[in-house]
Amino acid sequence: MDALNYIDGRHVAAAEWLDNFEPATGTAYGRVASSDAGDVDRAVAAAARAFPAWSATPSTQRSRMLRAVARLIEREKDRLARAEAVDTGKPVTLAGSLDIPRAAQNFEFFADAITQWQSEAHATDDVALNYTLRQPLGAVACISPWNLPLYLLTWKVAPALAAGNCVVAKPSEVTPMTAHLLGELCNEAGLPAGVLNIVQGLGPRAGSALVGHPDVRAVSFTGSTRVGREIAAQTAQRFVRASLEMGGKNPNVLFADADLDEAVAQTARAAFQNQGQICLCGSRILVERSVYDDVKERLVAKARSLRIGDPLDPATEQGALVSRQHFDKVMGCIEVARQEGGRVLCGGRAARVEGRCRGGWFVEPTLIEGLGPGCTTNQEEIFGPVATLQPFDTADEAVRLANATRYGLSASLWSRDLSRAHRVAAHLHAGIVWVNCWMLRDLRTPFGGVKESGVGREGGAEALRFFTEAKNVCVKL
Protein backbone atom coordinates (compact mmCIF):
# COMPACT_ATOMS: atom_id res chain seq x y z
CA MET A 1 0.00 0.00 0.00
CA ASP A 2 1.29 3.47 -0.86
CA ALA A 3 1.31 6.34 1.65
CA LEU A 4 0.10 9.43 -0.22
CA ASN A 5 -0.10 13.12 0.48
CA TYR A 6 -3.44 14.40 1.75
CA ILE A 7 -4.05 17.88 0.33
CA ASP A 8 -7.29 19.86 0.17
CA GLY A 9 -9.36 16.86 1.24
CA ARG A 10 -7.90 14.40 -1.28
CA HIS A 11 -5.13 11.82 -1.33
CA VAL A 12 -2.65 12.72 -4.06
CA ALA A 13 0.67 11.26 -5.17
CA ALA A 14 3.90 13.22 -5.30
CA ALA A 15 6.14 13.20 -8.39
CA GLU A 16 8.68 10.91 -6.70
CA TRP A 17 8.58 7.95 -4.34
CA LEU A 18 10.54 6.41 -1.47
CA ASP A 19 10.47 2.76 -0.40
CA ASN A 20 8.58 2.05 2.81
CA PHE A 21 10.22 -0.75 4.80
CA GLU A 22 8.81 -3.17 7.37
CA PRO A 23 11.47 -3.23 10.12
CA ALA A 24 10.56 -6.73 11.28
CA THR A 25 11.44 -8.23 7.89
CA GLY A 26 13.91 -5.69 6.52
CA THR A 27 12.02 -5.57 3.21
CA ALA A 28 10.05 -2.86 1.42
CA TYR A 29 6.31 -3.42 1.54
CA GLY A 30 5.10 -0.22 -0.14
CA ARG A 31 5.99 3.30 -1.17
CA VAL A 32 5.72 6.72 0.39
CA ALA A 33 5.29 9.97 -1.52
CA SER A 34 8.49 12.03 -1.60
CA SER A 35 7.16 15.58 -1.51
CA ASP A 36 9.00 18.67 -2.67
CA ALA A 37 8.51 22.42 -2.25
CA GLY A 38 5.74 22.40 -4.85
CA ASP A 39 3.73 19.86 -2.86
CA VAL A 40 4.26 21.93 0.28
CA ASP A 41 3.11 25.07 -1.55
CA ARG A 42 -0.12 23.34 -2.57
CA ALA A 43 -0.75 22.08 0.97
CA VAL A 44 -0.12 25.48 2.57
CA ALA A 45 -2.32 27.18 -0.04
CA ALA A 46 -5.13 24.73 0.74
CA ALA A 47 -4.78 25.47 4.46
CA ALA A 48 -4.82 29.23 3.82
CA ARG A 49 -7.99 28.93 1.70
CA ALA A 50 -9.74 26.88 4.37
CA PHE A 51 -8.70 29.10 7.27
CA PRO A 52 -11.32 31.91 7.08
CA ALA A 53 -14.26 29.50 7.22
CA TRP A 54 -12.70 27.11 9.75
CA SER A 55 -11.61 29.87 12.13
CA ALA A 56 -15.12 31.33 11.99
CA THR A 57 -16.71 27.95 12.75
CA PRO A 58 -18.15 27.97 16.28
CA SER A 59 -15.99 26.10 18.78
CA THR A 60 -18.85 23.73 19.58
CA GLN A 61 -19.00 22.69 15.93
CA ARG A 62 -15.23 22.25 15.71
CA SER A 63 -15.51 20.17 18.88
CA ARG A 64 -18.07 17.86 17.26
CA MET A 65 -15.78 17.36 14.26
CA LEU A 66 -12.83 16.42 16.46
CA ARG A 67 -14.99 14.06 18.46
CA ALA A 68 -16.13 12.38 15.22
CA VAL A 69 -12.48 11.77 14.28
CA ALA A 70 -11.88 10.27 17.74
CA ARG A 71 -14.80 7.86 17.30
CA LEU A 72 -13.47 6.72 13.93
CA ILE A 73 -9.97 6.12 15.34
CA GLU A 74 -11.57 3.97 18.04
CA ARG A 75 -13.60 2.09 15.43
CA GLU A 76 -10.48 1.43 13.35
CA LYS A 77 -8.23 0.61 16.33
CA ASP A 78 -7.20 -2.85 15.14
CA ARG A 79 -6.45 -1.70 11.60
CA LEU A 80 -4.44 1.27 12.82
CA ALA A 81 -2.54 -0.79 15.39
CA ARG A 82 -1.53 -3.32 12.74
CA ALA A 83 -0.44 -0.55 10.38
CA GLU A 84 1.64 0.99 13.18
CA ALA A 85 3.25 -2.34 14.04
CA VAL A 86 4.15 -3.04 10.41
CA ASP A 87 5.54 0.46 9.88
CA THR A 88 7.50 0.87 13.13
CA GLY A 89 8.38 -2.66 14.25
CA LYS A 90 6.70 -2.12 17.62
CA PRO A 91 4.58 -4.91 19.13
CA VAL A 92 1.01 -4.77 17.88
CA THR A 93 -0.17 -5.24 21.48
CA LEU A 94 1.60 -2.03 22.49
CA ALA A 95 0.21 -0.12 19.52
CA GLY A 96 -3.30 -1.35 20.29
CA SER A 97 -3.14 -0.62 24.01
CA LEU A 98 -1.21 2.67 23.99
CA ASP A 99 -0.58 4.42 20.66
CA ILE A 100 -3.99 4.20 19.03
CA PRO A 101 -6.14 4.77 22.16
CA ARG A 102 -4.01 7.81 22.99
CA ALA A 103 -4.49 9.18 19.46
CA ALA A 104 -8.26 9.02 19.96
CA GLN A 105 -7.91 10.59 23.43
CA ASN A 106 -5.97 13.51 21.99
CA PHE A 107 -8.87 14.43 19.72
CA GLU A 108 -11.38 13.77 22.49
CA PHE A 109 -9.48 15.88 25.03
CA PHE A 110 -9.10 18.94 22.84
CA ALA A 111 -12.69 18.62 21.64
CA ASP A 112 -13.63 19.17 25.29
CA ALA A 113 -10.90 21.69 26.09
CA ILE A 114 -11.82 24.20 23.39
CA THR A 115 -15.40 24.48 24.67
CA GLN A 116 -14.19 25.07 28.25
CA TRP A 117 -11.38 27.52 27.57
CA GLN A 118 -11.80 30.71 29.56
CA SER A 119 -11.04 34.27 28.53
CA GLU A 120 -9.73 36.99 30.85
CA ALA A 121 -11.25 40.34 31.79
CA HIS A 122 -9.74 43.12 33.89
CA ALA A 123 -11.62 46.18 35.12
CA THR A 124 -9.32 49.23 35.24
CA ASP A 125 -11.06 50.86 38.20
CA ASP A 126 -14.10 52.63 36.75
CA VAL A 127 -12.21 53.85 33.67
CA ALA A 128 -12.08 50.91 31.29
CA LEU A 129 -12.70 47.22 30.80
CA ASN A 130 -9.92 45.09 29.28
CA TYR A 131 -10.60 41.66 27.90
CA THR A 132 -8.38 39.16 26.09
CA LEU A 133 -9.22 37.43 22.82
CA ARG A 134 -7.35 34.27 21.84
CA GLN A 135 -7.40 34.09 18.04
CA PRO A 136 -6.08 31.34 15.75
CA LEU A 137 -2.93 32.01 13.74
CA GLY A 138 -3.70 30.63 10.29
CA ALA A 139 -1.76 27.86 8.55
CA VAL A 140 0.50 26.05 11.02
CA ALA A 141 3.03 23.22 10.64
CA CYS A 142 3.02 20.07 12.76
CA ILE A 143 6.11 17.88 12.35
CA SER A 144 6.03 14.54 14.15
CA PRO A 145 8.60 11.74 14.67
CA TRP A 146 8.75 8.05 13.78
CA ASN A 147 8.68 6.47 17.23
CA LEU A 148 5.02 7.17 18.15
CA PRO A 149 3.66 8.16 14.74
CA LEU A 150 -0.10 8.59 15.19
CA TYR A 151 0.11 9.26 18.94
CA LEU A 152 2.37 12.32 18.53
CA LEU A 153 0.88 13.51 15.23
CA THR A 154 -2.56 13.81 16.83
CA TRP A 155 -1.01 15.38 19.97
CA LYS A 156 -0.13 18.35 17.74
CA VAL A 157 -2.92 18.34 15.17
CA ALA A 158 -5.83 18.15 17.63
CA PRO A 159 -5.12 21.38 19.60
CA ALA A 160 -4.20 23.26 16.43
CA LEU A 161 -7.52 22.37 14.81
CA ALA A 162 -9.49 22.91 18.00
CA ALA A 163 -8.15 26.46 18.26
CA GLY A 164 -9.30 27.23 14.71
CA ASN A 165 -6.05 26.85 12.76
CA CYS A 166 -5.57 24.88 9.57
CA VAL A 167 -2.71 22.39 9.62
CA VAL A 168 -0.04 21.13 7.28
CA ALA A 169 1.40 18.05 8.96
CA LYS A 170 4.68 16.33 8.05
CA PRO A 171 5.01 12.83 9.52
CA SER A 172 8.26 10.91 9.40
CA GLU A 173 9.01 9.34 6.03
CA VAL A 174 10.08 6.22 7.96
CA THR A 175 6.59 5.63 9.41
CA PRO A 176 4.03 7.29 7.12
CA MET A 177 1.12 4.86 7.03
CA THR A 178 -1.11 5.87 9.95
CA ALA A 179 -0.89 9.52 8.83
CA HIS A 180 -2.17 8.38 5.44
CA LEU A 181 -5.01 6.51 7.13
CA LEU A 182 -5.82 9.53 9.30
CA GLY A 183 -6.60 11.45 6.10
CA GLU A 184 -9.18 8.79 5.21
CA LEU A 185 -10.81 9.08 8.62
CA CYS A 186 -10.90 12.88 8.51
CA ASN A 187 -12.73 12.71 5.19
CA GLU A 188 -15.25 10.27 6.64
CA ALA A 189 -15.72 12.51 9.69
CA GLY A 190 -16.62 15.41 7.40
CA LEU A 191 -13.62 17.63 8.16
CA PRO A 192 -13.72 20.41 5.54
CA ALA A 193 -11.20 20.24 2.72
CA GLY A 194 -7.93 22.01 3.49
CA VAL A 195 -8.39 22.10 7.26
CA LEU A 196 -5.88 19.24 7.66
CA ASN A 197 -3.23 18.58 5.03
CA ILE A 198 -0.47 15.96 5.19
CA VAL A 199 2.75 16.08 3.18
CA GLN A 200 4.86 12.94 3.20
CA GLY A 201 8.57 12.80 2.49
CA LEU A 202 12.07 13.64 3.63
CA GLY A 203 12.88 16.22 6.28
CA PRO A 204 15.56 18.12 4.30
CA ARG A 205 13.23 18.30 1.31
CA ALA A 206 9.60 18.51 2.45
CA GLY A 207 10.17 19.43 6.08
CA SER A 208 12.58 22.26 5.37
CA ALA A 209 10.26 23.71 2.72
CA LEU A 210 7.39 23.62 5.21
CA VAL A 211 9.32 25.27 8.05
CA GLY A 212 10.58 27.99 5.71
CA HIS A 213 7.27 28.65 3.97
CA PRO A 214 6.33 32.34 4.25
CA ASP A 215 2.66 31.59 4.97
CA VAL A 216 3.29 29.20 7.88
CA ARG A 217 2.60 31.01 11.14
CA ALA A 218 3.88 28.49 13.70
CA VAL A 219 5.88 25.25 13.82
CA SER A 220 5.35 22.47 16.36
CA PHE A 221 8.16 19.92 16.14
CA THR A 222 9.09 16.72 17.94
CA GLY A 223 12.35 15.04 17.01
CA SER A 224 16.10 15.21 17.42
CA THR A 225 17.98 18.08 19.02
CA ARG A 226 20.03 18.49 15.84
CA VAL A 227 16.97 19.06 13.65
CA GLY A 228 15.31 21.17 16.36
CA ARG A 229 18.33 23.47 16.35
CA GLU A 230 18.00 23.90 12.57
CA ILE A 231 14.28 24.66 12.87
CA ALA A 232 14.91 27.20 15.64
CA ALA A 233 17.40 29.04 13.43
CA GLN A 234 15.08 28.96 10.42
CA THR A 235 11.98 30.18 12.26
CA ALA A 236 13.89 32.88 14.14
CA GLN A 237 14.75 34.56 10.85
CA ARG A 238 11.03 35.15 10.18
CA PHE A 239 10.01 35.66 13.83
CA VAL A 240 7.75 32.59 13.59
CA ARG A 241 6.93 30.89 16.87
CA ALA A 242 8.26 27.39 17.37
CA SER A 243 7.61 24.68 19.95
CA LEU A 244 10.46 22.17 20.00
CA GLU A 245 10.31 18.88 21.93
CA MET A 246 13.68 17.23 21.38
CA GLY A 247 16.01 14.56 22.69
CA GLY A 248 16.46 13.17 26.16
CA LYS A 249 18.99 11.22 28.22
CA ASN A 250 16.67 10.65 31.11
CA PRO A 251 17.69 9.54 34.62
CA ASN A 252 15.78 6.99 36.66
CA VAL A 253 16.79 7.34 40.33
CA LEU A 254 16.18 4.45 42.75
CA PHE A 255 16.65 5.06 46.47
CA ALA A 256 17.17 2.14 48.84
CA ASP A 257 13.84 2.70 50.62
CA ALA A 258 11.79 2.36 47.42
CA ASP A 259 9.31 -0.42 46.80
CA LEU A 260 11.92 -2.33 44.83
CA ASP A 261 9.48 -4.78 43.25
CA GLU A 262 7.54 -1.94 41.65
CA ALA A 263 10.59 0.22 41.03
CA VAL A 264 12.47 -2.53 39.18
CA ALA A 265 9.46 -3.53 37.10
CA GLN A 266 8.78 0.05 36.01
CA THR A 267 12.48 0.83 35.53
CA ALA A 268 12.75 -2.09 33.10
CA ARG A 269 9.62 -0.86 31.33
CA ALA A 270 11.06 2.67 31.18
CA ALA A 271 14.30 1.37 29.69
CA PHE A 272 12.92 -1.04 27.09
CA GLN A 273 9.32 -0.19 26.13
CA ASN A 274 9.00 0.36 22.38
CA GLN A 275 12.58 -0.99 22.11
CA GLY A 276 13.78 2.05 24.04
CA GLN A 277 12.57 4.30 21.23
CA ILE A 278 10.63 6.78 23.38
CA CYS A 279 12.03 10.21 24.16
CA LEU A 280 10.97 9.68 27.79
CA CYS A 281 12.74 6.34 28.28
CA GLY A 282 14.92 6.10 31.39
CA SER A 283 18.27 5.24 29.82
CA ARG A 284 20.46 6.18 32.83
CA ILE A 285 19.57 4.09 35.87
CA LEU A 286 20.99 5.53 39.11
CA VAL A 287 20.80 3.21 42.13
CA GLU A 288 21.66 3.84 45.80
CA ARG A 289 24.76 1.77 46.49
CA SER A 290 23.33 -0.31 49.36
CA VAL A 291 20.80 -1.93 46.99
CA TYR A 292 22.80 -1.65 43.77
CA ASP A 293 23.72 -5.33 43.43
CA ASP A 294 20.18 -6.45 44.23
CA VAL A 295 18.63 -4.04 41.71
CA LYS A 296 21.19 -4.95 39.07
CA GLU A 297 20.44 -8.66 39.41
CA ARG A 298 16.70 -8.06 39.18
CA LEU A 299 16.99 -5.76 36.15
CA VAL A 300 19.17 -8.23 34.29
CA ALA A 301 16.62 -10.97 34.93
CA LYS A 302 13.81 -8.70 33.70
CA ALA A 303 15.72 -7.76 30.55
CA ARG A 304 16.52 -11.38 29.73
CA SER A 305 12.90 -12.42 30.21
CA LEU A 306 11.48 -10.02 27.63
CA ARG A 307 10.10 -11.90 24.65
CA ILE A 308 11.63 -10.73 21.36
CA GLY A 309 9.67 -11.65 18.26
CA ASP A 310 7.38 -10.82 15.38
CA PRO A 311 5.63 -7.52 16.15
CA LEU A 312 2.39 -8.97 14.78
CA ASP A 313 2.44 -11.75 17.39
CA PRO A 314 0.32 -10.56 20.36
CA ALA A 315 2.75 -12.29 22.76
CA THR A 316 5.77 -10.24 21.59
CA GLU A 317 7.17 -7.75 24.11
CA GLN A 318 10.18 -6.49 22.12
CA GLY A 319 9.91 -5.78 18.42
CA ALA A 320 12.31 -4.46 15.81
CA LEU A 321 14.17 -1.16 15.59
CA VAL A 322 12.61 1.21 13.11
CA SER A 323 15.20 1.13 10.30
CA ARG A 324 18.48 -0.40 9.18
CA GLN A 325 20.17 2.97 9.71
CA HIS A 326 18.91 3.16 13.28
CA PHE A 327 19.85 -0.48 13.95
CA ASP A 328 23.40 0.27 12.83
CA LYS A 329 23.51 3.36 15.03
CA VAL A 330 22.38 1.48 18.15
CA MET A 331 24.82 -1.38 17.54
CA GLY A 332 27.56 1.20 17.06
CA CYS A 333 26.67 2.83 20.39
CA ILE A 334 26.96 -0.52 22.16
CA GLU A 335 30.43 -0.98 20.65
CA VAL A 336 31.41 2.51 21.85
CA ALA A 337 30.29 1.53 25.36
CA ARG A 338 32.58 -1.50 25.24
CA GLN A 339 35.48 0.64 24.02
CA GLU A 340 34.88 3.05 26.90
CA GLY A 341 35.25 0.18 29.37
CA GLY A 342 31.61 -0.61 29.97
CA ARG A 343 30.65 -4.11 31.12
CA VAL A 344 27.70 -5.52 29.20
CA LEU A 345 25.54 -7.29 31.79
CA CYS A 346 23.05 -8.66 29.28
CA GLY A 347 22.22 -8.22 25.63
CA GLY A 348 24.67 -6.28 23.53
CA ARG A 349 23.96 -8.26 20.37
CA ALA A 350 21.60 -8.35 17.44
CA ALA A 351 18.68 -10.63 18.29
CA ARG A 352 17.91 -13.62 16.06
CA VAL A 353 14.23 -14.05 15.22
CA GLU A 354 13.19 -16.98 13.06
CA GLY A 355 10.45 -17.27 10.48
CA ARG A 356 9.34 -14.29 8.44
CA CYS A 357 11.38 -11.94 10.67
CA ARG A 358 14.79 -13.55 10.15
CA GLY A 359 15.96 -10.48 8.18
CA GLY A 360 14.59 -7.90 10.61
CA TRP A 361 16.41 -5.28 12.68
CA PHE A 362 16.21 -6.65 16.23
CA VAL A 363 18.50 -5.82 19.18
CA GLU A 364 18.60 -7.62 22.53
CA PRO A 365 17.66 -5.52 25.61
CA THR A 366 21.04 -4.34 26.88
CA LEU A 367 22.28 -3.22 30.32
CA ILE A 368 25.76 -1.77 30.83
CA GLU A 369 27.65 -0.82 34.00
CA GLY A 370 31.06 0.56 34.88
CA LEU A 371 30.84 3.85 33.00
CA GLY A 372 31.12 7.34 34.50
CA PRO A 373 28.76 10.23 33.93
CA GLY A 374 31.00 12.00 31.42
CA CYS A 375 31.44 9.17 28.92
CA THR A 376 29.81 9.22 25.51
CA THR A 377 27.43 6.40 26.41
CA ASN A 378 26.00 8.41 29.33
CA GLN A 379 25.93 11.68 27.38
CA GLU A 380 24.56 10.86 23.93
CA GLU A 381 21.00 9.72 23.26
CA ILE A 382 21.07 6.15 21.93
CA PHE A 383 17.28 5.79 21.47
CA GLY A 384 17.34 2.02 21.59
CA PRO A 385 16.99 -0.85 24.10
CA VAL A 386 20.18 0.18 25.92
CA ALA A 387 20.50 1.50 29.48
CA THR A 388 23.38 2.06 31.88
CA LEU A 389 23.59 1.54 35.64
CA GLN A 390 25.50 3.87 38.01
CA PRO A 391 25.64 3.70 41.84
CA PHE A 392 25.33 6.70 44.16
CA ASP A 393 25.72 7.24 47.91
CA THR A 394 23.75 10.39 48.75
CA ALA A 395 20.77 12.32 47.44
CA ASP A 396 23.06 15.19 46.46
CA GLU A 397 25.22 12.83 44.41
CA ALA A 398 22.13 11.38 42.75
CA VAL A 399 21.04 14.88 41.71
CA ARG A 400 24.51 15.69 40.33
CA LEU A 401 24.57 12.49 38.30
CA ALA A 402 21.00 12.99 37.10
CA ASN A 403 21.75 16.54 35.92
CA ALA A 404 25.11 15.71 34.32
CA THR A 405 23.96 15.93 30.69
CA ARG A 406 22.97 18.70 28.31
CA TYR A 407 19.46 17.25 28.15
CA GLY A 408 16.51 17.79 30.47
CA LEU A 409 13.35 16.14 29.21
CA SER A 410 12.15 13.82 31.98
CA ALA A 411 13.26 12.04 35.15
CA SER A 412 11.89 9.40 37.48
CA LEU A 413 12.67 8.80 41.12
CA TRP A 414 11.65 6.03 43.47
CA SER A 415 11.42 6.45 47.25
CA ARG A 416 8.95 5.94 50.08
CA ASP A 417 10.27 9.16 51.67
CA LEU A 418 8.02 11.68 49.95
CA SER A 419 9.66 14.65 51.66
CA ARG A 420 12.95 13.67 50.07
CA ALA A 421 11.20 12.93 46.79
CA HIS A 422 9.76 16.48 46.68
CA ARG A 423 13.16 18.00 47.47
CA VAL A 424 15.00 15.94 44.87
CA ALA A 425 12.32 16.52 42.21
CA ALA A 426 12.67 20.28 42.62
CA HIS A 427 16.40 20.08 41.83
CA LEU A 428 16.25 17.80 38.80
CA HIS A 429 16.75 19.46 35.42
CA ALA A 430 13.71 18.06 33.66
CA GLY A 431 10.44 19.24 32.20
CA ILE A 432 8.56 16.41 33.90
CA VAL A 433 9.51 14.37 36.98
CA TRP A 434 7.70 11.15 37.84
CA VAL A 435 7.74 10.03 41.48
CA ASN A 436 7.11 6.30 42.01
CA CYS A 437 5.78 5.92 38.45
CA TRP A 438 6.72 6.35 34.80
CA MET A 439 4.75 7.61 31.78
CA LEU A 440 1.70 8.44 33.87
CA ARG A 441 0.33 11.40 31.87
CA ASP A 442 -2.50 13.84 32.50
CA LEU A 443 -3.41 15.64 29.27
CA ARG A 444 -4.19 18.84 31.18
CA THR A 445 -0.59 19.34 32.30
CA PRO A 446 2.19 21.15 30.38
CA PHE A 447 4.78 18.96 28.70
CA GLY A 448 8.23 19.79 27.33
CA GLY A 449 11.92 19.86 28.12
CA VAL A 450 14.65 22.16 29.40
CA LYS A 451 18.24 22.69 28.23
CA GLU A 452 18.73 20.91 24.88
CA SER A 453 15.56 18.88 25.29
CA GLY A 454 13.23 21.61 24.21
CA VAL A 455 11.69 25.04 24.05
CA GLY A 456 8.01 25.63 24.74
CA ARG A 457 5.31 23.42 26.17
CA GLU A 458 2.57 21.21 24.76
CA GLY A 459 -0.52 19.79 26.42
CA GLY A 460 -3.68 21.28 27.89
CA ALA A 461 -4.04 25.04 27.85
CA GLU A 462 -0.36 25.41 26.91
CA ALA A 463 -1.05 23.85 23.50
CA LEU A 464 -4.06 26.08 22.90
CA ARG A 465 -2.02 29.15 23.87
CA PHE A 466 0.75 28.16 21.47
CA PHE A 467 -1.66 27.90 18.55
CA THR A 468 -3.37 31.25 19.25
CA GLU A 469 -2.48 34.91 19.42
CA ALA A 470 -3.52 36.99 22.44
CA LYS A 471 -5.25 40.26 21.64
CA ASN A 472 -6.18 42.74 24.34
CA VAL A 473 -9.30 44.86 23.79
CA CYS A 474 -9.58 47.96 25.99
CA VAL A 475 -13.02 49.58 26.16
CA LYS A 476 -13.30 52.97 27.85
CA LEU A 477 -16.31 53.15 30.14
pLDDT tens, position by position, 259-296 = 999 999 999 999 999 999 999 999 999 999 999 999 99
Residue 283 identity (one-letter amino acid): S
Burial label for 55, CB within 10 Å (0-12, 13-18, 19+), is middle
pLDDT at position 117 is 87
Q: What is the pTM of this model?
A: 0.96
- 10 Å Cβ neighbour count for 397? 15
CA-nearest of 301, 269, 267 to 284 is 267
Q: Would you give the end-to-end CA distance of the chain in angstroms?
A: 63
Catalytic residues: 245, 279
For residues 164 and 140, is the Cβ–Cβ distance under 8 A? Answer: no
Considering only 2-6, 123-127, 339-343, which range has the smallest mean pLDDT? 123-127
The C-alpha atoms of residue 348 and residue 271 are separated, in whole angstroms, by: 14
pLDDT at position 119 is 86
pLDDT of 118 above 90: no
Q: What is the mean pLDDT of residues 204-227?
A: 97
The C-alpha atoms of residue 383 and residue 381 are separated, in whole angstroms, by: 6
Q: What is the mean pLDDT of residues 313-329?
A: 98
Q: What is the mean pLDDT of residues 116-140?
A: 93
Strand pairing report for 139-143 and 166-170: parallel
Q: What is the pLDDT of residues 138-194, one digit of tens each?
A: 999 999 999 999 999 999 999 999 999 999 999 999 999 999 999 999 999 999 999
